[in-house]
Amino acid sequence: MKALCSLALPAFLFLTACGPDAPTEPNVLFILADDLGYHDLSVTGSDYYETPHLDALANAGIQFTSAYTTSRVCSPARASIMTGQYTARHGITDWIGAPTGEAWRKYGRHNKLLPPDYPHNLDTVHHTMAEAFGDAGYQTFFAGKWHLGDETSRPEDHGFAINKGGYSSGSPRGGYFSPWENPVLSNTTPGENLSMRLAQETTDFIAGIDRSKPFFAMLSFYAVHGPIQTTEEKWRKYRQKAVEQGVADSGFGMERRLPVRLHQDNPVYAGLVEQMDDAVGLVLNQLEALGLDENTIVVFTSDHGGVASGDAFSTSNAPLRGGKGYQWEGGLRVPLFLRYPRGIEATQQSKVPITGADIYPSLLSLAGIPATTRQLMDGRDLVANIDEGIAPDRPLFWHYPHYGNQGGDPSSVIRRDNYKLIHYHEDGKDELYDLYKDREERLNVAAQFPDLVSAMRTELLTWLESVGARFPEKDPIYDPVKAAGVAHFRRDTLKPRLELQRKNMLEDDYLPNADWWGSGK
């Protein structure tokens, strides 16, 4: 394997790594959060959630301030991370388990389109990131959420030698406190927290490895996916904090299809976020205790934006628009930090746009592993661009021909330079936003730049056709009267109900159930 210090990498990455005794093979720890929004961390702008361990990680390395997921929902984004491909190419375009075609009607949402089918397993034809590291002699380990297939498509079927907790489920069945319902993660201690257990499994793996070989460990939290749960202690801490900061009279506004949360003032969700941060701290502290931190690449990101609508209506991504499931920045922008090695004195920030598909080739490059020829990738190795802050001349693509559960529309997206075009499949209309001037995506400038819209739309649709993208079809029995009834319910019944739930959660005598989900507190 090529020596790490011989790589043509940004100088600031090696302030402490390239001494005479530097190892030639770095370890890799990849931490993936679920449903965590870009602004759900203190270091990325939250004044409500407290995340000291992730803040420290960000401040000891590089923060990518224009980092994106490849999909607004989980399974497609995770498939892109593992394969280095955009969703339209690998074909998993919705969360695995979502109905398609006429089966979509069972949800009773009365939409104009019927979503297309998609693969329900990550195809073993892909040579995944874990397999590439395994081929290079790395010990591979996975803990947490997988959601890329059933018993024939689990982590161990895609390059991970050890799997703790990863199977077909996209949510923490049984909740965040033991006993949970996970066929590949045993229950040992009543009330044990799931995030801490996954972190402990990861630290146990790191402590027990063969030190003569490097490791690639992926800690993929179920947090902060719903159902949102925390301890009474953490809830009370954040309930008090919300009161001290001042609770707004109204907590929800209306987006195009669903209510959307306006403020970060959910004390249960805040506790869930902090618990995940505690778990991150457990693993990072283990690296330091074992003397492995200065030779371990640590990456942290989220699979997509935070849940502002649908699901648990957990957080606000403001000032970014929307959230999980949405085509706007709140659904696509994610935190992404890279630390290697420990000892970087000051925070580095990179405005280079990077997506989940770029992580695979970039980590191979950082580890000194030759680019694999066994996997076609859309992602780029961006290591050479980090120091200069120069974005590669390329478009970014997204394709989500579904409605989902959070209120977003079937649409495809292209970003080129500072412009982002959203093409809607219901009516063929386009929105164009200048992200440098309007990160909130409130001013659609499509009418001002018709030539640019035409060029970007053509580039987008041509690329989608080239990779065999699937598209939704019109529902022949669409009923606009029934659709209007759904919209009326969401505005006049669901939104007031959510307001009451929010106020109840902030009451001093709030009690979600008899024993705080079995947390023991």
Answer for the pair 86, 397: CB distance below 8 angstroms, yes or no.
yes
pLDDT, tens digit, 9 for 90 and up, residues 414-443: 999 999 999 999 999 999 999 999 999 999
pLDDT confidence bin for 17, thresholds 50/70/90? very low
The conformational region for residue 398 under phi > 0 = left, psi -120 to 50 = alpha, else beta, is beta
Place of tokens 């935070």: 306
pLDDT average, residue stretch 475-491: 98
pLDDT confidence bin for 350, thresholds 50/70/90? confident
Cα(440)–Cα(409) distance, rounded to whole angstroms? 18
Place of tokens 């996997």: 375
Q: What is the per-residue pLDDT for 463?
A: 98
In terms of pLDDT, which residue wins out, 393 or 110? 110
Q: 20, exposed or middle or buried, with CB in 10 Å at 0-12, 13-18, 19+?
A: exposed
pLDDT confidence bin for 389, thresholds 50/70/90? low
Phi, psi of 173 (to 5 degrees): -60, 130
Q: Is residue 159 predicted with pLDDT exceeding 90? A: yes
pLDDT confidence bin for 521, thresholds 50/70/90? low
Cα(463)–Cα(8) distance, rounded to whole angstroms? 32
Q: By three-state DSSP, how is residue 409 classified?
A: coil
- The candidate with the shortest Cα–Cα distance to 123, out of 147, 143, 146, 153, is 153
Q: What is the per-residue pLDDT for 347?
A: 61
The conformational region for residue 334 under phi > 0 = left, psi -120 to 50 = alpha, else beta, is beta
